[in-house]
Chain A
Amino acid sequence: MDPEVLEEEGPQRRSALIPSVAAIVAIVGLADSIYLTVHHFTSEPVPCSLVEGCEMVLNSQWAEIAGIPLAAFGAAAYFTAFSLAVLTAFGDSRMWKLFGAQVTLMAGFSLWLVYVQAFLIKAFCQFCLLSAVTSMLLFVLFVISVFVGRSKSRTSA
């Protein structure tokens, strides 16, 4: 038994769990964003079965920035978050800090978009809400990892 290898592999395995879960969540967000981006370009209405007013949200002034659908920015953000989570899961812990910064911005932006839907457009789009949930979930996973990291360092101390 080599103690150096044990020390290297042990924490790596444990810390890979949260980034792996985050990567899966980011894929859900990525698929959702791609779905909305495609619908933006095809002008096909999205199914609006859970809430009402999907088209009002997706045709609103907040649905695009400089002619680019917001969902496309979302897809890029989720792909970046996925990449950072995967790199972290494979041992590059510096990427997790970048991931944390990114998902904090994403969660904040998502909260603002929920506010826009609730109070400015006064209509909801279920796929936009799903995106808000996934970005919040990514943020929560990051927060959990911070606490897990702290308790670990306390235990080892």
Chain B
Amino acid sequence: MPKEIKSKKAEPKSNMPLLIIGAVLIGAIIGGIWYFSSQRSAPATANTNTSTANTATTPRPTNTISPNAPAGATPPNMTGSQAATVTLEEFADFQCGSCAAANPILSEVKSLYGSRIKFIFRNYPLSIPAHDKAYEAAVAAEAAGLQGKFWDMQNLLFVNQQGWTAAPSYKQMWKGYAERIGIDVAKWEADMMGIAAKGRVDADLARGKAIGVNSTPSLYINGMLVPFSEMAVPKLKAIIDAELAKTSASPAANTAAAPAGNTAGNTNAAK
């Protein structure tokens, strides 16, 4: 009799743990997939109201560039127009996967806006073991820049990041890039050892540190930090258009015919 009671009590319990475990497993898988897809689509969707998106887009205390921050490498690596009223300043690391992912997005933005914006690239190699070649890569890009080919080298380093980042012969690969972009390879190698290229990287690093850059890529539009979750062409377009609209509303800053001496695009300008 007692055994009968016991088996009656035990039977419904026997499947329950497996049901709970199965439910949690399914929940975890579905939840993970749902969150993954929502994260993927988040940059393309304006004003996503999920809690994580809100937290991610909440400006951090260091979201503006202090006017007192060091200038960084001078002249900076810049595209667009010096006279543009909207300045994009990116701090990036050549071994950072997110920076490589942001590169085509920013290239598209640059080609979309042309001379209506000023785009500045700052080297910000992180001092972490996983980014052991980041500083050297920045110097390699700057050394190419001394021959006027910074952007070509910068692009090749990002496009081929996966290839060279784990390769023991990464310097040979970079040499191949130098040959490909048609610079004097011997001079480039000598410049990599010299202080000019390193000095530029160090100057950019000093600027980034003073601003409070703590992750890469960090993009500032007119001195305001853009969260990485906004790093998509439509979102960046919205921010840039809003900035352009602000300046075009002012009669003194006509973006279509900005005077050459206009310094409104000062990278130190904090908003």
Contact = CB atoms under 8 A, between A and B. Distances in A.
Interface in B37-94: 39-40, 42, 52, 55-56, 58, 60
B28 A75 contact: yes
Main secondary structure of the interface of B (DSSP, over half): helix
Interface string B78-120: 0000000000000000001110010000000000000000000
Interface in A114-153: 120-121, 123
Given A75-B28, A83-B21, A86-B17, 17 more contacts: A2-B5, A5-B2, A5-B5, A34-B31, A34-B32, A38-B39, A44-B42, A45-B98, A47-B58, A53-B215, A56-B126, A56-B128, A59-B97, A61-B129, A79-B28, A87-B21, A123-B214
B173 to A, nearest CB: 20
A99 interface: no
Interface residues of B, number: 41
Contacts of A31: 28, 31
B229 interface: yes
B154 interface: no
Given A60-B129, A79-B25, A90-B16, A5 B6 contact: yes
Contacts of B20: 86
A156 interface: no
Contact of B130 (A4, A60, A82): A60
A49 B154 CA distance: 31
Nearest to B16: A90
A45 B36 contact: no
A79 B2 contact: no
Contacts of A75: 28
A47 B214 CA distance: 12
A115 to B, nearest CB: 14
B177 interface: no
18 contacts: A4-B6, A8-B6, A30-B28, A35-B35, A43-B98, A44-B56, A45-B215, A45-B228, A53-B215, A54-B215, A55-B98, A56-B214, A59-B96, A79-B28, A87-B21, A90-B13, A121-B128, A121-B129
Interface residues of A, number: 45
A82 B215 CA distance: 34
Interface in B1-20: 1-2, 5-6, 9-10, 13, 16-17, 20
A52 B101 CA distance: 22
